[in-house]
Amino acid sequence: MSEKNIDPSLQKLLDLADVKINGNRPWDMQVHNPKLFQRILAEGSLGLGEAYMDEWWDSEAVDELINRFLKSDADKKLNISPKIAWLILKAKILNQQNKIKAHEVIKKHYDIGNDLYQKMLDKSMAYTCGYWKNADNLEDAQAAKHDLICRKLKIEPGMTLLDIGCGWGSLIKYAAEKYKAKAIGITLSKEQARLAKKLCQGLNVEIKIMDYRALKEKFDRIVSVGMFEHVGYKNHYEYFNSTCKSLKDNGLMLLHTIAGNTSVKNTNAWLDKYIFPNAVLPSAKQITTAYEGLFRLEDWHNFGTYYDNTLMAWHKNFNDNWDKIKDNYDERFFRMWNYYLLTCAGTFRSHRNQLWQIVFSKTSSQRTYESCR
């Protein structure tokens, strides 16, 4: 297929991003099906991703291709397809993150196989952005992230620490071992809970399968790492109200979340369908509006570019270990998972997505706080 056969509006977007069809640069698109661009025009980001899964196109550097599209704002210049319009309308009308729907992402993403995550992640099983300030490998970056959180929370021996959405327990394991905290982790994932209990065996750590909205106890410190993206804008206030009630008067809470530059009510259609059902990235405005009157802002730290490093490290691990796990998956999953990791890396490289760590104290708190980096 040559560029002469492409719709003029699409050709303009390709030119803006400096992407050539069947070019020889790593980020150029290699097109295998001439119907590709018709599919993109009809279905937007969903069609682009599904076409990649269907082997309609390839790129040696999908991450850089996405980075170039996003930096040029090419995605914003595409007309919204009927499918995408329906997704936007549905997000506005329905609460896609209610207690029933909250389990959908667990089934479709977090419970698809601990073997996959054990081969892709570092030894601690941390599935969130590492802190690469003084690190040159994934394991050190994740340990630095855990330590940064503990230092920001001013954790002392014997303090109770609640981790909302604790994953495989990497942070609470670290806090219990290094800072002697009494740590409790909650998750909706049975597979994560099963492995977390094994990894934290012998430590002052408790893992519970429960929704954050069912919390009744009070804690010295609360942390939530990579979970707020699943809360949904309709439930932001409920989240902060619940955590406020669960935090002791002079306690501290840290929120670690992926975020967007603008307020939205839906997510990328392809990610919603295949990777993170019902997830929506919060904006600064949505967060500050939701916690107003409940919490006092103590610190706001952005290190979103480190997610690029983290995702590319996961991508390498996944591909290096594919032969060890491929019997449990298929080739379409392999392309889907690579597309997920690489496109997300591109969103952070382009600064379209951010990674924030925000520290809160209660409005009634009398403490003086000084953060760290």
Residues with catalytic function:
344
Question: Any idea of the CA torsion for 200, 205, 206, 207, to the nearest 10 degrees?
Answer: -40
Contact 208, 186 (CB under 8 A): yes
Q: Which residues pair with 255 in a beta bridge?
A: 224, 358
DSSP, res 76: G
Contact 148, 171 (CB under 8 A): no
Report which of 291, 313, 308 is spatially closest to residue 300, judged by C-alpha positions.
291
- Measured distance CA(317)–CA(70) in Å, rounded: 26
Phi, psi of 154 (to 5 degrees): 55, 45
Contact 183, 253 (CB under 8 A): no
Report which of 70, 64, 59, 75 is spatially closest to residue 24, judged by C-alpha positions.
59
Report which of 53, 165, 36 is spatially closest to residue 109, judged by C-alpha positions.
165
Q: Which residues pair with 225 in a beta bridge?
A: 256
In terms of Cβ atoms closer than 10 Å to its own Cβ (0-12, 13-18, 19+), residue 232 is buried
What DSSP element (H or E) covers 284? helix 284-291
